[in-house]
Amino acid sequence: MPQTHGRRSRVAVVTGGASGIGEATCRHLAERNHRIAVLDLDGDGASRVAEELRAHGGEALGLTADVTDRPALDAAFAEIRATFGPAEILVTSAGLVAFDPFENITPERWSRLIDVNLTGTFHCCQAAVPDMVAARWGRIVTISSSSAQRGSPTMAHYAAAKGGVIVLTKSLARAYAPHGITVNSIPPSGIETPMQHRSQAEGDLPANEVMAGTIPLGHLGTPDDIAAAAAFLTSDEAGFITGQVLGVNGGAVL
Ligand code: NAP
């Protein structure tokens, strides 16, 4: 099995791997010599990222799946096992954001935000955990949101879903600690990604300079900032860290 810097090559699944934070996480994990399953609703994007990783000498597989579609996810995990072996690392970055005044949130929109962000994370964790239990080793990092830590006046659905992700993370950390599996969450804030750019284009978020002014470090973050933290939390070295919420947010006051 290939080794880099004395580290073992693992099988890593990254949801939302075709864009933004997920894409950067795929690159960081590939740099650690892991075999990467890039999973995304955007199948062309997942294939593109996997192809780029392979062009840089990595092993990667692009997969199309909606994290709300359990049969499709189970099929994707079966393909990952057949290609690379059991899942050892999972980073759940697939997410859907929305901005709505509370009284305008329809039950359908509420359900969709909960389905993608919270239930999608549940499905992915449940699909991956049996492999980790069997191996008596596993690393899960969920990508939540700072909106879950401070609340949000126009994102009650999204923030509630991401709050659920944080408590799911803490619950799984306690459930699976005896199996050698760590589960942590990173709640990003102010990270320049296609999702953020779309929200700015639609007038839901202010321009970069205004956002930067609210961040103690004085600038926005990059997908690499989150990916570096996720790569650490999924490493052997982070084996005594579980059930934690690691803010990567430029010192944002929550
Ligand atoms: P992004 O650039 O939009 O990437 C998200 C990826 O997830 C996209 O490729 C998207 O595909 C995919 N996706 C969406 N719904 C999916 C589904 N049902 N099944 C599978 N894949 C799906 O966004 P990002 O900014 O990197 O966000 C990554 C994570 O960080 C999200 O969970 C987000 O909520 C969280 N977050 C980001 C920030 C920030 O500042 N950027 C702040 C707080 C939290 P499509 O493009 O086809 O929809």
Asked whether residue 217 carries a pLDDT value surpassing 50, the answer given is: yes
Asked whether residue 5 carries a pLDDT value surpassing 90, the answer given is: no
Ligand 1 centroid distance, CA of 21 (Å): 8
CA-derived radius of gyration, the chain: 17
> CB under 6 Å to ligand 1: residues?
15-16, 18-22, 40-42, 45, 66-68, 93-97, 116, 120, 143, 145, 188-191, 193-196
**pLDDT for residue 68:** 98
Asked whether residue 6 carries a pLDDT value surpassing 90, the answer given is: no
What is the rounded CA–CA span in Å between residue 91 and residue 211? Answer: 26
Three-state DSSP at 192 gives coil
Place of tokens 């005044």: 101
Taking the CA of residue 97 as reference, the ligand 1 atom at the shortest distance is: 34
Q: Which residue's C-alpha comes closest to atom 26 of ligand 1?
A: 20
Determine what percent of the chain is predicted with pLDDT higher than 90: 96
Taking the CA of residue 223 as reference, the ligand 1 atom at the shortest distance is: 26
Asked whether residue 4 carries a pLDDT value surpassing 60, the answer given is: no
Residue range 121-136, pLDDT digits in tens = 999 999 999 999 999 9
Q: Is residue 124 within 8 Å of residue 77, measured between CB atoms?
A: no
Residue 211's alpha-carbon distances to 80, 190, 248, 253, in angstroms, are 39, 7, 15, 13
Instruction: Just give the CATH number of 11-238.
Output: 3.40.50.720
Going along 33-172, which residue ranges are E strands?
35-40, 60-64, 89-92, 138-143
Pocket test for ligand 1, best of 13, 21, 49, 114 (most atoms within 8 A of CB): 21
Ligand 1 centroid distance, CA of 18 (Å): 9
**pLDDT for residue 7:** 74
Residue 180's alpha-carbon distances to 13, 127, 132, 172, 241, in angstroms, are 18, 17, 8, 12, 11
Taking the CA of residue 117 as reference, the ligand 1 atom at the shortest distance is: 32
Pocket test for ligand 1, best of 19, 47, 199 (most atoms within 8 A of CB): 19
Read out DSSP for 31-70? Answer: HTT-EEEEEES-HHHHHHHHHHHHHTT--EEEEE--TT-H
Taking the CA of residue 18 as reference, the ligand 1 atom at the shortest distance is: 9
Ligand 1 centroid distance, CA of 195 (Å): 6
- What tokens does 222 get? 């990059």
pLDDT band at 8 (very low <50, low <70, confident <90, very high): confident
Of 5 and 38, the structure prediction assigns the larger pLDDT to 38
Q: Which residues are catalytic?
A: 158
**pLDDT for residue 193:** 98
**pLDDT for residue 253:** 79
Asked whether residue 14 carries a pLDDT value surpassing 70, the answer given is: yes
Ligand 1 centroid distance, CA of 131 (Å): 25
**pLDDT for residue 2:** 42
Ligand 1 centroid distance, CA of 91 (Å): 12
Q: Which residue's C-alpha comes closest to atom 31 of ligand 1?
A: 95
Asked whether residue 23 carries a pLDDT value surpassing 80, the answer given is: yes
